[in-house]
Amino acid sequence: MKLVFCTECSDIFSLSLNVRSCRCGRVKGRYLDERHAEVNGRGFSIAIDNVSLFKAIGRMGALHAQTREGYEQACQVDCWVRPHDGEGNPHTIVNKGL
């Protein structure tokens, strides 16, 4: 899952096939298809590992049904702050015209 973070308004948003922007309008991006995306080069790209997210949701649900203790450690999700394009983010391009 690709997210984009704006350091000006602290908004974080997921991409869709339509252009989305943060609350202040500085950071924009969209999916080009199911795998590729473009962003306007501002802010930071964040990737969340979908497998770890769904595992954490499952663990949290099971733990929440039993107890509210200790779920913070058991429900961690893998995520990365990445460059907008290049080797560290090969399926995203920068389009400053967005």
Residue ranges binding Zn ion (CB under 5 A): 6, 8-9, 22, 24, 26
Distance CA 32, CA 98 (A): 12
CB of 45 to Zn ion, least distance (A): 14
- Whose Cβ is closer to Zn ion: residue 45's or residue 75's? 45
CB of 27 to Zn ion, least distance (A): 5
CB of 7 to Zn ion, least distance (A): 8
